[in-house]
Amino acid sequence: MEPTLILSDAARVTAGVLLITIVLVETGGLYLLSIVGGRVERTPFQIAFARAGHAHAGVLVTLALVIQLFADAVVLDGPVAWLARSGVAVAAILMPLGFFLSSMAPGATRPTRLVALVLIGAVFLGLGAASLGIALLAS
């Protein structure tokens, strides 16, 4: 059976990598279940950050997959092309990482400086989404 949608190499490779990262999102879900089930002791702050990290990972990986289709619908060059295609994918890595790493210390009740990864990821999210949105409107 022939595929009905032809993806660019960039979309195919990026989507393949993103789909594999779902295994990591599942691992985060198992960790979250161990916290909620009482098998791992965490502070209310750590529980909140674990939930936020897991939610951001799932939503942003899904959005990054959808973006691959839209990125193939416009012609972009150079850094803007990379940002439009990969900005949300980078956010899908940095933001959850910031939530998890900044709350790992035993008994933590506030984030460490690694919470900056959440903010850096938010910048990639905004720039990636905006650059693709503008490209779609301009095409």
Q: What is the pLDDT of residues 69-123, one digit of tens each?
A: 999 999 888 999 999 999 999 999 999 999 999 999 999 999 999 999 999 999 9
Q: How many residues does the chain have?
A: 139
- Tell me the percentage of the chain whose pLDDT exceeds 90: 81
**What is d(CA 43, CA 132) in angstroms, rounded to the nearest whole number?**
39
Instruction: Print the domain residue range for 16.
Output: 9-138
Q: State CA 42 to chain mean position distance.
A: 24
| Residue in the block written with tokens 């938010």 | 122
**What is d(CA 134, CA 11) in angstroms, rounded to the nearest whole number?**
19
The pLDDT value recorded for residue 40 is: 86
Q: Report which residue type is found at 79.
A: P
Is residue 28, in this structure, part of any structural domain at all?
A: yes
Mean pLDDT for the stretch of residues 115-138? 97
Global pTM reads 0.90
**Domain count of the chain?**
1
Is residue 30, in this structure, part of any structural domain at all?
A: yes
- pLDDT at residue 36 is higher than 90: no
Tell me how many degrees the CA angle 88-130-87 measures, rounded to the nearest 5.
20
